[in-house]
Amino acid sequence: MNEQNGIVIESIGIYHPEKQVDTKEVLEGCTHKIRFPMEKVSGIKSRPMAGNREFSIDLARKAVENCLANSSYKAADIDLILCCNISRYDAVRQASYEPGTSLKLKKHFGMTHTMAFDISNACAGMFTGILLTHAFLEAGLIRRGLVVSGEHITHLTETAQQEIENYMDQRMACLTLGDAGAAVILERGNDPETGFQYLDIATLGAHSQHCTAKLTTGEAGGFIMLTDSINLTDAAMKAGAIHATQAMRHTHWMPQRISQLIMHQTSKLTLNSARDEMNRVFGGEFFNPENTVNNLEVRGNSASTTHMVAVADQIAANKLHPGDQVAFGISASGLTVGTALYAFDDLPDRMRSAGDAIKSDPERLVNTQVNTSPITCMKVLGIGTAAKEGPEVQDSMKYTVAAARDCLSNAAISSTDIDLLIYCGIYRSQHLLEPSYASLLAGELHANAVSLNPAQKTLAFDIFNGAVGFTNACQAAQAMMTAGRCQTAMIVASEFENNLQDFPEQLIGLHEGASAIVLTASEEGKIGFSQSKIGYEVANQEGYRIHLNYRQKSPVMEITKADQLVQHMLSCIAKTVTALLEEYNLDPETIDFVLPPQQSEDFIDKVQQTLNLPRATYINAVGGSPDLFSSSATFAFRELLETHAIKPGAIALVITAGSGIQAGCSLYYF
């Protein structure tokens, strides 16, 4: 569904580190002398660099503070927070894995009732978050949502400076990066003529290998980004122009109506080439240096934050006004392309006004009711699983692909039937963080990997929220289906023991395998997954932390699990299950099956002892194997289907639990 109902940006918050570093200084800092006119080609004179004083979490937090300062709302008014940064650089040469950034922000800002999870989709992360929040708003599941990204990415620059050998090196793009935080609040507006008039994103997985970010194999250590700039830019320009024409035709917008064209800010050369391609496709000189935004000179490429940084800069420079119509060109490694057409309400004027003037306007607070329209139930169409083959270290994508193909076979559908592909695993080989694992998988499966056909395309992205990611993926898929944005979704997960080779005595304790499940919008009413519920005990958040430490030659996952962790999880599970049953007015005796977190047989026994579900049969798919973690629900569901006779009308309770501390619960009606 691309027709929008006046979903508007209520507020924008931006944060830039104070330190500005010149391009000349970046080049001079390279170990090998680089003879290349970087400033002339990129258009970047300087860029903000956080250094080791501020980190990704700090940039995100300060962007949220600025966003709330510019808003009519308080933190407690936010129903959903999505954190979308690629970088998880939260301390010197450390990358955070659990808990997610959104959960840390939820705790910091006291967002007691707010749903929170991270998503990852390379530089399209914020717009993927905006699209998903848009679907939650369209489906009536929330009143307002906050999308935030804190991109501390110049640690990639530092690694590249030690490794780049010449100007043809695929690591050169690392020298264009800048740090920034950005946040937006979205809500339903009062005027259908303002806000998002079109918003759509697609994944062309055939090009997913053109840009990757992962731990380097070089002596310097740290993360590095490898970019095939020529092939990536060529594919992105052509696909982006085609997607933009589809958007214009759908909305009947004409190019001459566009006040400003805001594309992903990568380099001056790329922006100029993309603008020329747009003019060629539209058959006229509609876009020029005056209406094509280029803020690279002092910002650099700040990854997922670039569009909102550009909007804030244009507002501050008095170049955006109420009524202006803006086209956003979305592109990222993956290859992810998209278009957003946005008509501004009074946001520019409000952003330029004093904070008191914003908060004193009572009209900003009218949209306080959540829509009560029916939520689409999702029926399981097929399940697939795969295990790592042998004890040797493997690429985790290998068994991820195997599980997905097994699932497609069992569902008797083609990969081209998948509208939405969500990957919710956490730990993967090479610590790869860009592009999304889902986009790499879309390429491997040939899931509409080169198609921009409006009737047959795939959106792929990752959800990054530990063992509860599966429940979040179900929430995201359900919102997208209810909003009419997809019909069939595949949720995939896999895990990898990164410490196995160098620190076998310090394992997280995960089952190295993969799972996939296909869900489709139910045509039989109340059959399938109900609306999910997630409960939080953020006060105990520090009791479960995992981060990557790469200060030494061999990177290591460092794990903190409090002695009371199991008790905290059981408490959270009990409270969340009770709340779910009360919400659906269900007696505990109506539950036929329980699919508990498949951490261990002992944990399943503890869940059974904790919950008052006298008639329920508890499914054990873990046996004596390690924690099934992000694949827990899918393995348990397969075990249920294969080992039990299930009568129509039976109800299964699906539970996930993980860092945060959080527990997710869903009901499945057979």
Same domain, 336 and 421: no
- pLDDT-based confidence at residue 357 (cuts at 50, 70, 90): very low
**Domain match, 383 and 297 both:** no
Please report the pLDDT score of residue 337 as a whole number: 97
Domain boundary among 311, 333, 365: 365
Name the nearest CA neighbour of 296 among 321, 339, 265. Answer: 265
Q: Which two tokens stand for residue 105?
A: 């922000």
Say whether both 410 and 461 belong to one domain: yes
- 514 and 579 housed in the same domain: yes
**Domain for residue 372, yes or no?**
no
- Strand, helix or coil for residue 40: helix
For residue 591, being part of any structural domain is answered with: yes
Report the amino acid identity of residue 457.
K
The SS3 call for residue 423 is strand
Domain-embedded: residue 637: yes
Mean pLDDT of the residues in the chain: 93
Residues 360 and 388 in one domain: no
Q: Are residues 360 and 500 in the same domain?
A: no
Q: pLDDT confidence of 662, banded at 50, 70, 90?
A: very high
Band (pLDDT 50/70/90 cuts) for residue 354 is low
d(CA 408, CA 517): 9
Show the tokens assigned to 169. Answer: 């090196």
Whether 404 and 282 share a structural domain: no
3-class SS letters over 585-623: CCCHHHCCEEECCCCCHHHHHHHHHHCCCCCCEECCCCC
CATH number at residue 305: 3.40.47.10
- Same domain? 137 vs 228: yes
Global pTM reads: 0.96
Single-letter code of the amino acid located at 601: E
- Per DSSP, helices labelled H in 391-467 are 396-411, 437-445
For residue 393, pLDDT over 80 is answered with no
Position 288 in a domain: yes
Per-residue confidence (pLDDT) for residue 413, from 0 to 100: 97
Task: Match 């805001």 to its residue by tokens.
Answer: 262
Whether the Cβ atoms of residue 395 and residue 162 lie closer than 8 Å to each other:
no
Residue-range definition of the domain harbouring residue 569 = 378-530+562-669
CB atoms within 10 A of CB 584: 13
Same domain, 383 and 354: no
Confidence of residue 3 (pLDDT cuts 50, 70, 90): very low
Residues 379 and 338: their CA atoms lie apart, in Å, by 29
Report, as an integer, the average pLDDT of 424-435.
95
Last residue of a domain, one of 365, 389, 413: 365
Domain count, the chain: 2
Percent of the chain with pLDDT over 90: 89
Q: Are residues 432 and 462 in the same domain?
A: yes
Q: Where does 252-362 have alpha helices with state H? A: 268-282, 296-299, 306-316, 347-352, 355-359
- What per-residue confidence (pLDDT) applies to 273? 94
Question: With contact defined as beta carbons under 8 Å apart, do 508 and 499 qualify?
Answer: yes
Question: At 218, is the pLDDT very low, low, confident or very high (cuts 50, 70, 90)?
Answer: confident
Instruction: Tell me whether residue 538 is in a domain.
Output: no
343 strand-pairing partners? 195, 325
The verdict on residue 546 lying in a domain is: no
Q: For residues 113-124, b (16+ Cβ closer than 10 Å) or e, as one string?
A: ebbbbbbbbbbb
Do 306 and 426 belong to one domain?
no
User: pLDDT tens digit string along 564-584?
Assistant: 999 999 999 999 999 999 999
- Rounded Cα distance between 216 and 228, Å, is 16
How far from the centroid of its chain's Cα atoms is residue 438's Cα? 11
As a 3-state breakdown, the chain gives helix, strand, coil percent values, each rounded to 5, of: 35, 25, 40
342 and 410 co-located in one domain = no
Does the residue 395 lie in any domain? yes
Closest CA to 304 of 149, 438, 156: 149
Reference 305, options 297, 315, 295; nearest CA is: 295
Q: Which residue matches tokens 């392309």?
A: 337
**Residue 345 belongs to some domain of the structure:** yes
Residue 206: closest CA among 335, 397, 120, 333: 335
Q: Which of 246, 237, 233 is nearest to 200 (CA)?
A: 246
Domain edge (last residue) among 342, 365, 388: 365
